[in-house]
Amino acid sequence: LDWGHERLRRRVQDGIREVRFMLNGQLAKLRKELSEKRPSASEIDGRLEGLAESVNEIIRLVGVEGEALAEAGGAADWRRRRLSRLQTELVNRIVKLQNPQQCQSAKKLICNLNKGCGFGCQAHHVLYCMTLAYATGRTFVLDSVNWRYSRGGWTSVFEPLSKTCTERGSAGAKQWGSTGAEDAQLVEVPIIDAMAHKPPYLPQAIPADLYEELSGLHGNPFVWFAGVLLNYIMRPNAAFQRQLDDNAIRLGFAKPIVGVQVRRTDKIGSEAAFHDISEYMVWVEEFYKTYELRHGRPDKMRVLLATDDANLLNEAARRYPAYTFLSDTSSSRSASVRDRYSDGGLRGVISDVLLLSKTDYLVCTFSSQVCRLAYELMQVGRDDSSDRFHSLDDVYYFGGQLPLEVTARFAHKSRDSSELDLSPGDVIGLAGNHWDGYSLGQSRRLGRNGLFPAYKTELVVRKAEMRPGL
């Protein structure tokens, strides 16, 4: 019997009880004072600040103890080993599909890399094609000539997607969804946004045969599935790998480290809002406070800063002298809109994404595909890391995905017209999370949009039959 486990369990339960006492007791006291002697606004403010500090402190401690509990008795290693076995199984299937015995006659799915967008968006396009190939049992052939990032195409930086079968062949291809396409030898796939009838195996669905085990082991099974596929798709070739390793050493990459990605330039105002560095640093500070409670003071408080704003590193280092910022400045310069689509720009963004994926915690805006890519890759080779992030804006999503839904675990009575009523089992199309306890969505039952407490719901994990035909 592991008594450490029992001690942790009691501490978590005690902590939750103390939060209740602290919150209810101090609020009751404040309300009494408000009705009796009308304290000034600044007095009230001071009291609320003190209360918030105490409650946050207890929650932080419970979080640390909960984390230790999740790892007690070798549970973390056990999860990591089982996830790693699933990964091996999935990758073996892909390798087999990608290397058919008869390449000439193999059924193929062809995608063109030239989606008119950045690397993160293109990598997601490749992932979507790989998923379709996997689901329909076809060998995936990627056409990357005239790639906007590099004349050498995909293999200028990555291993080819197959050792034996990378040519589409000379036969004519059918368009995905056209008559006879299902049986055609070659099928060409449009970008996900242009797909007319969406099949059930599109993101964020996971293969039905992995569903049971994966949804038990991982907090966001699709993100894990995406990460494993991307990890196969984005295998740096030997020369590029050496460059990446040198780069990591030069930057001084070591743990503990928090990854911060700040997406600015062309994204601001069109697809996302501006966020000051302080908004990201709140979460970095929280990470290190928690870290210290568990492991003691770190040798350095490292922050890996990836950004397309070439001036940000100076500002961050000046305003946050307690932190050690690691940032590839040549990468942020070549990430500017003018120099982006170049060999240097390509290597820079891949290096940033891979380093971000190896950090302990990620702070960014999920409106950026760069950060979503890093978050997906972060899941590979670890214990469940689905909660190791904070997004300042969107929830995790996949562009062009099937509707993202949550389901109500508990009933909720709306408090005003901005809120939704919930009945257990209700399905709600998720539009976003305000990260203040409330999410926004559309109740399928009521046909109405509104806010609802996020804690009363859970994510619906989609599953679909995918037949790699092996």
Residues that bind ligand GDP (CB under 6 A): 117-121, 261, 263, 267, 306-308, 331, 335, 340, 345, 348-349, 352, 368-370
Residues 466 and 90 sit within 8 Å (Cβ to Cβ): no
Q: What b/e string do you get for 404-421 counting C-beta neighbours within 10 Å, with b at 16 or more?
A: bbbbbeeebeeeeeeebb
DSSP assignments along 183-238, one per residue: G-SEEE---GGG-SS--TTSTTEEEGGGHHHHHHH-SSHHHHHHHHHHHHHT-B-H
How far, in Å, CA of 10 to CA of 22, rounded? Answer: 18
Q: Which is nearer to ligand GDP, 79 or 347 (CB)?
A: 347
Q: How far is the CB of 271 from ligand GDP (least distance, A)?
A: 7
Q: Which is nearer to ligand GDP, 272 or 461 (CB)?
A: 272
> How is residue 212 written in tokens?
């049971």
Residues 309 and 268 sit within 8 Å (Cβ to Cβ): no
The separation between the first and the last C-alpha atoms of the chain, rounded to the nearest angstrom, is: 44
> How is residue 349 written in tokens?
């963004």
- Closest-by-Cβ residue to ligand GDP is 118
Asked whether the CA dihedral 371, 372, 373, 377 is positive or negative, the reply is: positive
Q: Which is nearer to ligand GDP, 204 or 307 (CB)?
A: 307
Q: How far is the CB of 355 from ligand GDP (least distance, A)?
A: 10
How far, in Å, CA of 446 to CA of 426, rounded? Answer: 9
Q: Which is nearer to ligand GDP, 165 or 277 (CB)?
A: 277
Q: Which is nearer to ligand GDP, 307 or 439 (CB)?
A: 307
Q: Which is nearer to ligand GDP, 65 or 352 (CB)?
A: 352
What Å distances lie between residue 420 and 61, 302, 457, CA to CA? 33, 42, 12
Residues 261 and 331 sit within 8 Å (Cβ to Cβ): no
Q: Which is nearer to ligand GDP, 138 or 263 (CB)?
A: 263
Q: How far is the CB of 323 from ligand GDP (least distance, A)?
A: 18
Cis peptide before 241 (omega within 30 of 0): no
Q: How far is the CB of 123 from ligand GDP (least distance, A)?
A: 8
Q: How far is the CB of 334 from ligand GDP (least distance, A)?
A: 7
Half-sphere exposure of 39 (CA within 13 A, CB side): 14
| Residue 376 burial (CB count, 10 A) | 27
Select from 301, 306, 298 the least CA-distant residue to 356: 306
Q: How far is the CB of 305 from ligand GDP (least distance, A)?
A: 9
Q: How far is the CB of 350 from ligand GDP (least distance, A)?
A: 8
Q: Which is nearer to ligand GDP, 211 or 253 (CB)?
A: 253
DSSP assignments along 2-20, one per residue: -HHHHHHHHHHHHHHHHHH
Q: Which is nearer to ligand GDP, 49 or 271 (CB)?
A: 271
Q: How far is the CB of 119 from ligand GDP (least distance, A)?
A: 3
Q: How far is the CB of 241 from ligand GDP (least distance, A)?
A: 18
Q: Which is nearer to ligand GDP, 139 or 368 (CB)?
A: 368
Q: How far is the CB of 115 from ligand GDP (least distance, A)?
A: 9
Eight-class DSSP state of 416: S
